[in-house]
Amino acid sequence: MHIVVVGGGVVGMTTAYELNRRGHRVTVLERHGIAGNETSKGNAAQRSYGVVYPWADPAMVMKAIPWLFKKDGPLKLRLPPSMESLRFLFSTLRYARSPGLFGLNKRAMLRLGIHSRERFLALEQELDLHFDGDHRGLLHLASTPDALEGYRQTHKLLNELGIASRLLTPGQVREAEPGMTGNGPLYGALSYDTDGTGDCHLFSVELARACESKGVTVRYNTESEHLIANDHRVTGVAVRNKDGKAETLEADAVVICAGCWSGQLTRPLGLELPIYPVKGYSFTVPLSDPDRAPVSTVHDDNFKVVSTRLGNRLRASGFVELADFNRNIPEARLATIRKSVESRFPGCADLHAAETWTGFRPMTPDGPPIIGYGPRENLFLNTGHGTFGWTLSAGSASVISQLIGGEEPSVCLDAFRPGRFAE
């Protein structure tokens, strides 16, 4: 079968890898000149299998409103808000109020996270990829007693699902992260012992090369303009190739992995995907004193900033901003991220010399990604991974490939069904 994958981010490349493993002929279409150059480029670098959850959470709503009015608060809304951002916000609120939905979706995402970890470990054994990746755990710091109390509840759920985690005292936190010498408030932490890190962009680039060496065709600088379909099937993709010429590519099946831009391809076939681009920021900087840097990845709940060790670099990332597709990087956002790093890991790097980045999380209003059949029998979707696409990529790629090949998916896909927004 010739399968076309639209999008060469981390989700598209892992999908191509899984399809190739199952013996399919695969072509990836990517409009950039390199893989993983959009949202997969500068993310917080966590493979947080134990932390995946929907944002449409009744408890989160109550916490989030005051964040909007706090100077260093993690949630920002550009004023005046656009219709798209308001629609996303109200839709998220509606899902958050739907009784029982949060718990079901959280469990479904955690199960996908468990499968993703298994698939990452297998992939990393099979391919020799260099992406500053590790599985040395993840720490969620508690900067208030209330935060620690909340982690106790999470710890119970993780136990129930067999995901290894521990509640740590402040002393144990400093033992696990000896570089954490800053004076930020600390009441303890929840340690996700089997979670990991890794540079998602490097991984995507290396995986693209590995896929090409196994026979996958990756067509860079190639825009997928629209799908060509009859009432039952997709027959191909109309593309604008690297020389700017229009071309038709025939396909036996198509998988949409186009992140925030996926809806543009499904809309003409009658499927609206309410994926909203939730903006975030990061910077990456070489370490000047590795002993003062994180060993692995640390989530500072005080500023909602993540600091991650990537080899001899630090990646720090934060903010949830509803500002549509706007690529500016205000100094105030970077200043808050720096403040968090300085309060935890002072002196680890010259933070003003960092390379800065902004990107858009492909968020669904209820939280889970969109994985399953599209509006034609040979059209598949693997998109809308929001804030956990790096973490869930290997698992999502595995289950969509199983579905395409007629196998029983390793994880129940009910929570991820593409048609759920119209129900």
Which lies closer to ligand FAD via its Cβ, residue 121 or residue 181? 121
Shortest distance in whole angstroms from residue 240 CB to ligand FAD:
9
Q: How far is CA 411 from CA 110, 326, 395, in A?
A: 10, 35, 9
Which lies closer to ligand FAD via its Cβ, residue 187 or residue 201? 201
Q: Look at residues 116, 134, 110 and name the one whose alpha carbon lies nearest to residue 10.
A: 116
The yes or no reply on residue 203 touching ligand FAD (CB under 6 A) is: no
Residue ranges in 142-201 that form contacts with ligand FAD under rule CB under 6 A: 200
The yes or no reply on residue 389 touching ligand FAD (CB under 6 A) is: yes
Q: Look at residues 249, 217, 214 and name the one whose alpha carbon lies nearest to residue 27.
A: 217
H-type alpha helices, 286-345: 331-344
The yes or no reply on residue 223 touching ligand FAD (CB under 6 A) is: yes
Residue ranges in 228-267 that form contacts with ligand FAD under rule CB under 6 A: 257-259, 261
Q: Look at residues 258, 244, 260 and name the one whose alpha carbon lies nearest to residue 327.
A: 260
> Which of these ranges, 26-34, 136-144, 242-250, 338-346, lies near ligand FAD under the rule CB under 6 A?
26-34
Shortest distance in whole angstroms from residue 36 CB to ligand FAD:
6
Which of 31, 117, 119, 299 is the binder for ligand FAD (CB under 6 A)?
Answer: 31
Shortest distance in whole angstroms from residue 195 CB to ligand FAD:
10
The yes or no reply on residue 137 touching ligand FAD (CB under 6 A) is: no
For residue 4, the cross-strand partners are: 27, 254
The yes or no reply on residue 113 touching ligand FAD (CB under 6 A) is: no
Which lies closer to ligand FAD via its Cβ, residue 112 or residue 187? 112
The yes or no reply on residue 32 touching ligand FAD (CB under 6 A) is: yes
User: What is the C-alpha separation between 207 and 397, in angstroms, rounded?
Assistant: 13
The yes or no reply on residue 27 touching ligand FAD (CB under 6 A) is: no
* Beta strands per DSSP E along 263-312: 276-286, 297-300, 305-310
Where residue 306 falls (left for φ over 0; alpha for ψ -120 to 50; beta otherwise) is beta
The yes or no reply on residue 30 touching ligand FAD (CB under 6 A) is: yes
Tell me, rounded to whole angstroms, the distance of Cα 281 from its chain centroid. Answer: 13
**What SS3 class is residue 104?**
helix
Shortest distance in whole angstroms from residue 228 CB to ligand FAD:
14
The 8-class DSSP code of residue 409 comes to P
Shortest distance in whole angstroms from residue 283 CB to ligand FAD:
11
Helix axes 83-96, 58-67, angle to 10 degrees: 140
The residues of the shown chain that bind ligand FAD, judged by CB under 6 A, are: 6-12, 29-32, 36-40, 43-46, 48, 200, 223-224, 257-259, 261, 280, 282, 317, 359-362, 383, 385-391
